[in-house]
Structure 1
Amino acid sequence: MRAMDDEAAGPDRGPRVGSRVVVRHRLERPDLLTGATLTDVVGELVASDAEALLVRTRRGEVRVPRPLVTVVKEVPPAPSRRGAPHRALSVEGLQRVMVEAWPAVETARLGDWLLRASGGFTHRANSVVTVGSPGMPVPDALDAVERWYAARGLPPDVTVAVPLEADVHDDPVAVEALARGWAPRVPTLTLTAPTRLLAHHPRPDRPGGPHRVGDVQGVEVGGELTPQWFEAFRSYRTVDDEAVARAVLTGSPAQVFATARDEGGRVVGIGRLAVAAAWGGVAAMWVAPDARRRGVASAVLAALAGAAGRAGAASVHLQTDSDNTAALRLFEGHGFERHHAYVNLRRLAG
């Protein structure tokens, strides 16, 4: 196997190799004891082609011929600890879950690491997910990362994730990146919550009655990236290449866009939900400055959680900078809990 493997990006390729899946397929003959004609295989998808799927289960590898497959569905990594589903995944497991919630335009594998590039649009879509082993010493791996990003005209950028109580600066990848002079950005917190809690969370009391400027009158939810939603997104996020931004925003296995309007029809809030690996991922939450503290964000969040529930996602994740106290107050006030932290380290120009 090559040290670095390119892989396609986009929502139409089905579950990616390396993801945990359930494959429902027909039996070549009915089960003698039960008479069942269908069965499921659950495990890691290790190979996929036009002829068959190869799944690594706890009992070994199982080859399922394509003509017998009826359903292939990506599922979350196996829980690493007891407790509620939104708390049961390890740091590494949730990092893997989040990949397709904000998908990159181009990806490649370096051992277990995932390299992502999207023309510089956002850190998440242009950084390396350093989960697992790169298959070589860390200094050699970062050399390969530097070459890969240089070929795309981008600075190398790695994401290093750690438990909340750990110091990211002790991580071997961070130690090597810092020794090379790469600069860390502010830590990012990953928060999780049960979908049902968010969907039924009451909106906070709003002073001043129902007709203050900016009060939300309704939230539209749909799978289409509308011009109004994208215009609101561009009002607070830098978009140098519209085609790349649209590719990232619409590149998850499934996504929902929420648009909140005031009584005059003006867009006062937006949000995006991605559904991947049986989780919902909330992102791109924005409220117009003159509409804040009116329940707009709560209404958008509830609408997205409702969509996640209808899609079968029992848990939701989101990420916010650790110094964004207003966002943390909002999300934790609605039931989100801190799961882990990560830091992006990037080589600066010059």
Structure 2
Amino acid sequence: MEFTTRGRLEVRITTADVGKRVSVRKLNDSPGSPERFTDAVGVLTSWEGGVLRITRRSGEVVEVPESALVAGKVVPPAPPRRRGPAATVRELQLIASRGWPARETESLGDWTLRAAGGFTTRANSVLPLGDSGLPLPEAVERITDWYGRRGLPATVQITTGDPARDEELDAELARRGWTGERYALMRTAPLAPIADLPHRLNGMGGAPMPDTGDVLLTREPDPAWVRAYGREGADAPDATAVLTGGPSVWFATVPGDDEGPAAMGRCVVDGRWTGFAALHVSPARRRQGLGSLVMAGLARQALAEGASAAYLQVEADNGAAAALYDELGFTTHHAYHYRRAPQR
């Protein structure tokens, strides 16, 4: 890894390079290590408060104090992979949870209790990934109390693509009168074909699609994006923490008119995986390929950061979204739903 010009170490990156793939060298602070320096390669996710945060392809985040930085440069993007990596149900659930992070979490054995002021069920439900460490009835009482203290209904995410783990829990909650709701699918696809979609469709004739250059990417959602997103409380601090949380988050906008964006979306890059969410097209601009355009613009950014696979979560009865995602190459990885406690 070459950092020098005529034998001198140089820092050739600035805060303007946030979002780019970089290679840095820093002083090694590991006790007992004979190495004077250590290196890190990944996406420069942020540079704030005198600390650089670099997200490696594995999803690991490396923090580098400015005082320890001795060299750095922008490096070319890793070549895209045409096939995305495989993942188990557990692995993908963990990745998806990092990509839509709750503001508050607490562990109960292998379960994670998540809360974010009620903003979205995903961020306000239990993610059970193994053994709670308690008898099931006692675990249910514990989580009911935890959510009750926060003024939230106790809710558990139940995965049905891995019944050996969740079927007992699902049956116990149903027996207690917890209602099943929000039946959804986790879908996955290779990332590179999504980025290529406008080019492929334009090569097939018919009305040309707009170019991905029409998609504006930002690190923070502006007020117009939040209004178009349309969820109640989306401008509250809890919602902002969820929407902007994750290893490397991007917001996409196709400018519209005074009524708001023509199209919009969000993605989070986490190592080799990219999660898509909040895809919306203005009713007046539908059937013009703008949904695909937003996905392609976000996918190109994710490819530049070293990702190779995509995931998204969609409710099982959303036929319009399913048609688009089928076209983009998504297939079902597993299914899940939620169980909500009866009101006391």
- Superposed, 1:203-222 pairs within 5 Å as 218-222=214-218
Which of 58, 74, 77 matches 1:75? 58
Q: Secondary structure at the match of 2:311?
A: strand
Which of 112, 116, 119 matches 1:118? 116
The whole-number CA distance in structure 2 between the counterparts of 1:317 and 1:72 is 19
Contact 2:275–2:310 (8 Å) recurs in 1: yes
Q: Secondary structure at the match of 1:238?
A: coil
Aligned residue in 1 for 2:342: 348
Aligned residue in 2 for 1:304: 298
The whole-number CA distance in structure 2 between the counterparts of 1:252 and 1:187 is 24
Aligned residue in 2 for 1:178: 174
Distance of aligned partners of 1:304 and 1:144 in 2 relative to their CA distance in 1, 3 Å threshold: same
Contact 1:259–1:270 (8 Å) recurs in 2: yes
The whole-number CA distance in structure 2 between the counterparts of 1:282 and 1:240 is 17
Which of 258, 269, 276 matches 2:263? 269
Contact 2:211–2:293 (8 Å) recurs in 1: no
Q: Which moved more, 1:130-139 or 1:175-184?
A: 130-139
Which of 186, 191, 216 matches 2:187? 191
Contact 1:215–1:295 (8 Å) recurs in 2: no
The whole-number CA distance in structure 1 between the counterparts of 2:211 and 2:185 is 29
The whole-number CA distance in structure 1 between the counterparts of 2:100 and 2:184 is 15
Structure 1 residue identity aligned to 2:33: E
Contact 1:217–1:262 (8 Å) recurs in 2: no
Is residue 2:151 matched to residue 1:153? yes
Which structure 2 segments of 5+ residues have no match?
Answer: 1-27, 41-52, 61-81
Contact 1:260–1:270 (8 Å) recurs in 2: yes
- Number of residue pairs aligned between Structure 1 and Structure 2: 281
Distance of aligned partners of 1:74 and 1:349 in 2 relative to their CA distance in 1, 3 Å threshold: farther
Contact 1:215–1:294 (8 Å) recurs in 2: no
- Superposed, 1:102-113 pairs within 5 Å as 102-113=100-111
Identity rate of aligned residues, in percent? 37
Taking structure 2 as the reference length, the TM-score comes to 0.72
The whole-number CA distance in structure 2 between the counterparts of 1:195 and 1:210 is 22
Query: What is the alpha-carbon root mean square deviation over aligned residues?
Result: 3.4
Is residue 2:225 matched to residue 1:229? yes
- Deviation of 1:162 (Å): 2.8
Distance of aligned partners of 1:240 and 1:93 in 2 relative to their CA distance in 1, 3 Å threshold: closer
- Deviation of 1:304 (Å): 0.9
The whole-number CA distance in structure 1 between the counterparts of 2:29 and 2:303 is 26
The whole-number CA distance in structure 2 between the counterparts of 1:200 and 1:25 is 43
Contact 1:193–1:335 (8 Å) recurs in 2: yes
Contact 1:113–1:133 (8 Å) recurs in 2: yes
Aligned residue in 2 for 1:337: 331
The whole-number CA distance in structure 2 between the counterparts of 1:331 and 1:261 is 23
Aligned residue in 2 for 1:5: none
Is residue 2:55 matched to residue 1:28? no
Contact 1:216–1:263 (8 Å) recurs in 2: no
Q: Secondary structure at the match of 1:89?
A: coil
- Kindly provide the CA deviation profile for residues 326-349 of structure 1, in whole angstroms up to 9, marking residues without a partner as x: 111101111111111111111132
Q: Secondary structure at the match of 1:114?
A: strand
Contact 1:91–1:162 (8 Å) recurs in 2: no
Contact 1:162–1:342 (8 Å) recurs in 2: yes
Distance of aligned partners of 1:330 and 1:135 in 2 relative to their CA distance in 1, 3 Å threshold: same
Aligned residue in 2 for 1:328: 322
Q: Which moved more, 1:282-291 or 1:305-314?
A: 305-314
Aligned residue in 1 for 2:246: 252
Contact 1:190–1:318 (8 Å) recurs in 2: yes
Taking structure 1 as the reference length, the TM-score comes to 0.71
Q: Secondary structure at the match of 2:113?
A: strand
The whole-number CA distance in structure 2 between the counterparts of 1:279 and 1:332 is 19
Structure 2 residue identity aligned to 1:239: G
Q: Which moved more, 1:216-225 or 1:185-194?
A: 216-225
Distance of aligned partners of 1:163 and 1:294 in 2 relative to their CA distance in 1, 3 Å threshold: same
Q: Secondary structure at the match of 1:267?
A: coil
Is residue 2:95 matched to residue 1:97? yes
- Deviation of 1:241 (Å): 6.2
- Kindly provide the CA deviation profile for residues 233-285 of structure 1, in whole angstroms up to 9, marking residues without a partner as x: 12xx2227622211111122221000012489951111001123542110011
Contact 2:132–2:139 (8 Å) recurs in 1: yes
Distance of aligned partners of 1:96 and 1:120 in 2 relative to their CA distance in 1, 3 Å threshold: same
